[in-house]
Structure 1
Amino acid sequence: MVNQLYYGDNLDVLRRYIKDESVDLCYIDPPFNSKRNYNQIYNNIGSEDKAQAQAFIDTWEWDNRAMHGFEEISTNYNGLFTEQAVYLITGLENVLGKGSLLAYLVSMTLRITEIHRILKSTGSFYLHCDPTASHYLKLVLDAVFCPHGGNFLNEIIWCYRGGGVPRKDFARKHDIIFRYSKSNIYSFNVNDIRIPYSEDSEQRLKYKARSFRGKKVYDNYQQNQNGKHPEDWWEIQPVMPSSKERLGYPTQKPEALLERIIKASSNEGDIVLDAYCGCGTTVAVCENFNRKWIGIDITYQSISLILKRLEDSFGKDVSQNIKLHGIPKDMESATALANKADDRTRKEFEKWAVLTYTNNRALINQKKGADKGVDGVVLFQGDQQTPEKMIFQVKSGKVKSGDIRDLIGTMTLQNASLAIFITLQEPTKEMLTTAKSAGFYRSQYITESYDKIQIVTVKDIVEKRQRLNIRLSYEVLKSAEKQINFKQGEFDL
């Protein structure tokens, strides 16, 4: 099987493209809803504490999606849901009311049900969460897995250090990972995940006491040469600011954590699925340990980051073994992305356009409704001592020369040397003339002069495969580091 990377809603992808009993292991790290004030969940009929719950409310609201999902479960649409799951969700409505928390649990129930369907009978499932909603998620998992012969196997506590501590609370330094199997037969490769003994335990386990005729006799005890059997609490360092793994993704998990899960519950050649693959830690570990993988994410920024991560780690040839789904490849699909009504994807067209044109090298402006005319930025090496800025603006609707004049003003406010205007519609002659009037940019690092404002159409991107051809600052830095390392190697000889 070729590795699969899907851009889209994981519920839609699971239902339309992933076959029954086709996956050996599934791990998901969905949103935790951690910023919500759960002291108020039992009387949340009134207004929400939006300051504390902003990240949650952005994703989970009692909207049309939540109502549709609740109706699917409560009416047991197409017989998809267990009787226990139906009773659980309808019962929780009476406890929680129709608010953001119930919307979150409805969303998770829909997806966990599909994950159970696509797991092989010997498959395992790990769900990563934190104490915010773990007690509810455990009920959902039991209701989906256990009626069909599945088993709850472990509540794994991932302990970590680092970060700040609250003044009037114990420091919150753990996540929860629930482990389930679909049947009584499943992979567990303990010898692949054994961990070193501590110095104390090494001394203590040198001798093992046994009873012989009422007396304790101490025999020499041989430890397992591969290390000790791991407990259900794991001390693994998170991705720290100075870590080489760090990608700048806010919820990035360490590769060591996924390595333990993947080695324990799958074998070489098995298929591993991550339905919230984020920055791609699961797929990177799978690639490293010869597992086939399926990744799904609803944001193009994650898809872009995963592709770049894999190329940086395994070389550009790695993309030849990845089949991409849902990414615009022609004008029809690009227009469809631009015209999506779903508020979750209202900025996805802009992200896709900027990241595709820059070969996944740009920084995306995450501010919604307050981007000040800047959808993305790259820093490039110019004649100045410090890196210079290029900004990107994307338009999917009707465009006019006034848009270019506004962009000239934005360049001044942003202290940008260059700007790229990406448009779904064809530019007018007046737009092209106005762009030319901004003048040219020249640098010793660029072989030819650049228009300070360039207009690029989506048609240029998808049909002509036009891409940004300029060396960025961090690429110059990497090249310099390689030269230094090379010269040091020469001296070392």
Structure 2
Amino acid sequence: MQFYKDENVELILGNCIEKLMELNEKSIDMIFADPPYRLSNDGITCKSGKIACVNKGYWDISGGFLSDYKFNKEWLMACDRVLKDNGTIWVSGTYHIIHLIAFALMELGYHIINEIVWFKPNAAPNMSCRCFTASHEMLIWAKKSKKAKHKFNYNFIKELNGGKQMRSIWEIPTTPKREKTYGIHPTQKPKQLLYRCIMASTDEGDIVLDPFCGSGTTGVVAVENNRNFIGIDIEEEYLELTRKRILQMD
């Protein structure tokens, strides 16, 4: 179901595996995917200095190792069909899923260009006090094969980093309140993170796809920087949040 469309944006409501099959083959320049981390296990975390439940929604509940792996393999295969031969895919995740995804990508013949560590200097404290405080997420940047001629805007990224080569550890705070004006998604990513990914691997006019659209940060950053955007989400309320953010350009 098409939820919203204008000249540069298309928002699609539904299961991403099914909806990706409706898009044109090899039509996408870059994919940014922030799939379910499968962390909704009735545990606890810290929000605004208070203990809170980690549960995010039915879509984040684990179905077990094999079920979770099957899901990740299926949506990656669906993404592979629409990604251009020289296009690239970014996937974010914590240790709960990122290694499964890396394995699935390599099974599909993908070549991992970089593994990025997103270090969160203001990460929430660990409430159990039984392990180290989780303060980072991983981003995998990959292309269809080692020989694929992927896009990397090296000079722009170097300039963005003060004239020095940007390294693979990015210190970026978690999403600020000013980016949550129109609503809240439990796994919303900061614009600064998406800006680096999109500006590094696309040019103006390229098509950026997010199969797990969520709060629409990928779309906001893409449109702000003259890229086209396709977002898919299974929840109508999050597509509405995305629409509002893109129209208002927070």
State the TM-score bracket (shorter-chain normalisation): 0.7 to 0.9
Aligned residue for 1:178? 140
Aligned residue for 1:219? none
Aligned residue for 2:198? 262
CA contact (8 A) 2:87 2:150 kept: yes
Letter in 2 for 1:174: H
Identical-residue share of aligned pairs (%): 30
CA contact (8 A) 1:22 1:119 kept: yes
Aligned residue for 2:119? 159
Letter in 1 for 2:34: D
* Offset at residue 248 of structure 1 (A): 2.4
Q: Which has the larger radius of gyration?
A: 1
CA contact (8 A) 2:39 2:61 kept: no
Cα separation, 1, equivalents of 2:61 and 2:133: 29
1:248-397 residue pairs with structure 2 within 5 A?
248-313=184-249
Q: What SS does the corresponding residue of 2:158 show, helix, strand or coil? A: coil
Cα separation, 2, equivalents of 1:130 and 1:61: 15
1:41-440 residue pairs with structure 2 within 5 A?
58-59=58-59, 99-144=63-108, 146=109, 150-162=110-122, 163-166=124-127, 167-183=129-145, 184-194=148-158, 226-240=162-176, 243-246=177-180, 247-313=183-249
* Offset at residue 245 of structure 1 (A): 1.2
Sort the Cα spacing of 1:194 and 1:59 in 2 relative to 1 into closer, same or farther, 3 A. Answer: same
Cα separation, 1, equivalents of 2:106 and 2:159: 30
Aligned residue for 1:30? 35
Sort the Cα spacing of 1:244 and 1:258 in 2 relative to 1 into closer, same or farther, 3 A. Answer: same
Q: What SS does the corresponding residue of 2:26 show, helix, strand or coil? A: coil
Q: Where has structure 1 moved over 4 Å in runs of 4 or more? A: 52-56
Q: What SS does the corresponding residue of 1:193 show, helix, strand or coil? A: helix
* Offset at residue 35 of structure 1 (A): 4.2
Could you list the per-position Cα deviations for residues 334-368 of structure 1 after superposition, in whole angstroms to 9, with x for gaps in the alignment?
A: xxxxxxxxxxxxxxxxxxxxxxxxxxxxxxxxxxx
Could you list the per-position Cα deviations for residues 289-346 of structure 1 after superposition, in whole angstroms to 9, with x for gaps in the alignment?
A: 00011110110101111111122228xxxxxxxxxxxxxxxxxxxxxxxxxxxxxxxx
CA contact (8 A) 1:61 1:103 kept: no
Letter in 1 for 2:242: I
CA contact (8 A) 2:40 2:61 kept: no
Letter in 2 for 1:274: D
Cα separation, 2, equivalents of 1:61 and 1:255: 26
Give the structure, 1 or 2, with the largest relative contact order (CA under 8 Å, sep 6 or more): 2
Sort the Cα spacing of 1:35 and 1:195 in 2 relative to 1 into closer, same or farther, 3 A. Answer: farther
CA contact (8 A) 1:21 1:117 kept: yes
What RMSD over aligned residues (CA atoms) do the two structures have, in Å? 2.3
Q: What SS does the corresponding residue of 1:244 show, helix, strand or coil? A: helix
Cα separation, 2, equivalents of 1:61 and 1:313: 32
Cα separation, 2, equivalents of 1:277 and 1:134: 18
Q: What SS does the corresponding residue of 1:123 show, helix, strand or coil? A: strand
Letter in 1 for 2:125: G
Q: Which runs of 5+ in 2 are unaligned?
A: 1-6, 43-52
Q: TM-score, normalised by structure 1?
A: 0.44
Cα separation, 2, equivalents of 1:237 and 1:192: 22
> Which structure: greater helix fraction?
1
Q: Which runs of 5+ in 1 are unaligned?
A: 38-51, 63-98, 198-225, 315-493
Letter in 2 for 1:233: I
Letter in 2 for 1:107: F
* Offset at residue 53 of structure 1 (A): 8.7
CA contact (8 A) 2:8 2:223 kept: no
Letter in 2 for 1:177: L
> Which structure: greater strand fraction?
2
Sort the Cα spacing of 1:233 and 1:104 in 2 relative to 1 into closer, same or farther, 3 A. Answer: same
CA contact (8 A) 1:60 1:101 kept: no
CA contact (8 A) 1:60 1:100 kept: no
Q: TM-score, normalised by structure 2?
A: 0.84
Aligned residue for 1:20? 25
